[in-house]
Amino acid sequence: MITLDRLTKRYGDKTAVSDLSFAIRPGKVTGFLGPNGAGKSTTMRMIVGLDAPTSGRALVGGRRYAELRHPMREVGALLDARAGHPGRSAYQHLLGLARSNGIPASRVAEVLDIVGLGEVAKKRIGSFSLGMGQRLGIAGALLGDPKVLLFDEPVNGLDPDGVRWVRELMRSLAAEGRTVFVSSHLMSEMQETADHLLVIGRGRIIADAPIEDVIAGSSLTAVRVRTPEPGLLGRALERAGMSVEAAGEELIVVGGTMEQIGDAAFENRVRVHELSMRKASLEQAYMELTAASVEYGSPNRKA
């Protein structure tokens, strides 16, 4: 489990991360979203001790990262796929990490096979493609068989098959009871992978909720109702606090569930010919959430 307690990071007069407090729990994939410059990478770096917080603290299993005796056995992290020395082979790179953390050398071959790099284990890292570098970084994160894993943009440079493999890997790790924390800008993939979302903007928390709740909170998530009595039902739904748009016999309702709408129709003796959910995508919900938090964006950006 990862716990952040009022974590803050300032660089001079600029605040990169401001008073973050949340818990990342085991057994699920927690997605970490936010615009460029929102503070995602800085937050992850503070969790693994690469940046020192200005105030507050980040704990892994109740301890600071610097207090862990064999950190790779407890926390695995992919924050920079280019971190290895280009002149070393994949095997040498991982062997050095293993020896520094008391991990058996036999584990190196195991993780290389897991990520699909077994056949290029003796190849120099400097000759690796971006996708191969990502796979090597994931191998490094898995090396100590840790219970806590952090991945910053793990699908960069991967082909569709590789993206699917990463998705399945994340979900399988969470299913084993591990804590999996993943940052990504690829919304469609995050929608397929994450169970829970943390969204930040300008260093502050915007949302901390299950992914379905984040999507349901979008104004583009609505219920479509088809009824021969739209006026009567529409007025009843508005009295119940829902927003209603009418077009002929069709109503688009925001702010109510299908169950609530069905109950209202029953209570008012209104016939309903169709009742269906029109869900927003994660990308649409995300754009709405972060509309006021984009620091480096297009002037034409719309929620």
2-208 shares its CATH topology with 222-278: no
pLDDT tens, position by position, 41-59: 999 999 999 999 999 999 9
Q: Which two tokens stand for residue 33?
A: 């979203």
pLDDT tens, position by position, 210-240: 999 999 888 888 999 999 999 999 999 999 9
User: What fold characterizes domain 2-208?
Assistant: Rossmann fold (3.40.50)
pLDDT of res. 291: 85
**Summary mean pLDDT of the chain:** 92
pLDDT tens, position by position, 164-193: 999 999 999 999 999 999 999 889 899 999
Average pLDDT over residues 132-148: 95
Beta strands 250-254 and 222-226: pairing type? antiparallel
pLDDT of res. 300: 53
pLDDT of res. 297: 53
Residues with Cβ within 8 Å of 167's Cβ and at least 6 positions away in sequence, in order, are 189, 192, 193
pLDDT of res. 303: 41
Give the DSSP letter string of 88-142. SBHHHHHHHHHHHTT--THHHHHHHHHTT-GGGTTSBGGG--HHHHHHHHHHHHH
pLDDT tens, position by position, 15-33: 999 999 999 999 999 999 9
pLDDT of res. 294: 67
With 0.75 as the threshold, say if the pTM is over it.
yes
pLDDT of res. 182: 97
Rounded CA-CA distance 283/163 in Å is 18
The phi and psi torsions of 190 (rounded to 5 degrees) equal -65, -35
Rounded CA-CA distance 60/73 in Å is 12
Q: Band of the pLDDT at 139, cuts 50, 70, 90?
A: very high
Distances in Å between the Cα of 271 and the Cα atoms of 200, 225, 244, 259, 277 are 44, 10, 17, 15, 18
* Neighbour count for residue 265 (Cβ, 10 Å): 20
pLDDT of res. 219: 80
Rounded CA-CA distance 168/164 in Å is 6
Contact in structure between 138 and 113 (CB atoms under 8 Å): no
User: What fold characterizes domain 222-278?
Assistant: Alpha-Beta Plaits (3.30.70)
Q: Band of the pLDDT at 138, cuts 50, 70, 90?
A: very high
pLDDT of res. 109: 95
Average pLDDT over residues 130-156: 94
Domain boundaries, the chain: 2-208, 222-278
pLDDT tens, position by position, 73-131: 999 999 987 788 889 999 999 999 999 999 999 999 999 999 999 999 999 999 999 89
Rounded CA-CA distance 196/127 in Å is 37
